[in-house]
Amino acid sequence: MSARIFSRRLAITGLAGITAGLLARPSNAQLATNPEVTFKLPLDRSNKPTALYFSRTGHNLSGSFLNHWVQYGRADTFGLPVTELMTENSVRKQYFENAVFKADSTSDEPTGVVTEDIGTQWFRTYGSRSLHGLFVPNESDWYPYTIEGVHPVLWTFYRDSGSVAKWGLPISWPYRRNGVIGQVFEKAHLITGTDRIQVEPIGHWFANRTLDSTDLQRKAPMVGSIDSESSIIDSDYDYGRPEDRSVDVNLTHQVATFLVGEKAVYRALIASGAKHTPTPPGIFKIFLRREVERMVGGEVGTSDYYDLSDVYYTQYFTDDWIGFHYAYWHNGFGDSISHGCVNMRIEDSRWAWEFCSNGTVVNVHY
């Protein structure tokens, strides 16, 4: 999505800022020689753990499942693993306190891992009965960008922590029980806590009711695993000089690859411009960064009009105000659906914000 508030932008950046956003040819060291090669480059994971052991639950987490857990929320979102990696009906799965992961080679997800809609499953099998008579539909605001209603008390957390891409759409009205406000979403059950919103452990609930007891038994650390209590997952990683960093945006595959020289260090699924508002191919440089942005565009009174506040981690790189940013109003990552900008999930947009700076080269291509 691109912002078209040109008078305000010009006042902020001046002509020099806009000139910095125009086409700029980087050195060969900044871009891989073949875009298709860049898309297939394995990520450099040196100095990062390949397996973790969680002594509190007695289970291991490794490989692509560990990568997905680290990249998209960790314990705050998914909880800790309550089983080992297993195979159910020929599908590789792992249960967590708040989620269920499964391998999906057909998914566009770069990690090859997706989360199941356990909120939907929990509500159908248990929640609709246990919460009967407690729903308060009149307390739910209808937010146009969530399609369904989200309780105002939950809305800020829902939006800022990942929105529909992480939690899914709401599948129940909000409810009140013993002073607690809660609501069930496709992938989670959120409730108010003493000082923050909490994610209910329905992944553990499912594991206890659907798996054999031997699957839930504590296991020994696997060979090569590091105890999660002593592991620094976010240890400082040397991404080199800012001028050696670049971003490769592949519009064909809808993937952004972050590079240091020709070494790929991070990859994220994106949503680029739709057919009538395409993301322009070319080689650009980031020239303006705004941690919190308001975006207005389209024609007032038409379906194309938008006015969005709290758009986080915006980094503009074209003279038409195309850039990277978090998009909380859809879960169309992997598709071309934006107004031109490169939409990202909250974790990916935050990572891009910390990796990039003014002057970072962005190579956009098919």
Residue 214: count other Cβ atoms within 10 Å of its Cβ: 6
- pLDDT, residue 146, reads 55
- pLDDT, residue 4, reads 39
CB within 8 A of 94, min separation 6: which ones?
Answer: 61, 65, 81, 83, 84, 85, 86, 100, 101
* All domains of the chain in start order, with CATH: 6-45+237-365 (2.40.440.10), 51-227 (no CATH)
| pLDDT per residue of the chain (366 residues) written in tens, 0 to 9 | 544 343 233 333 333 333 333 344 444 344 545 666 787 789 988 878 899 999 999 999 999 999 999 999 999 999 999 999 999 999 999 999 999 999 999 999 999 999 999 999 999 999 888 898 899 887 776 655 555 689 999 999 999 999 999 999 999 989 999 999 999 999 999 999 999 999 999 999 999 999 999 999 999 999 989 988 765 565 556 788 999 999 999 999 999 999 999 899 999 999 999 999 999 999 999 999 999 999 998 888 887 888 999 999 999 999 999 999 999 999 999 999 999 999 999 999 999 999 999 999 999 999
Q: Are 324 and 311 in contact (CB under 8 A)?
A: no
Q: Can you name the residues that pair with 96 across neighbouring β-strands?
A: 81
Helices (H) and strands (E) in the chain, counts: 11, 22
Residue 168 vs residues 2, 102, 145, 186, 196: alpha-carbon distances, Å = 25, 16, 12, 5, 20
**Could you tell me the sign of the dihedral formed by the alpha carbons of 208, 210, 214, 219, in that order?**
negative
Return the amino acid letter for 28.
N
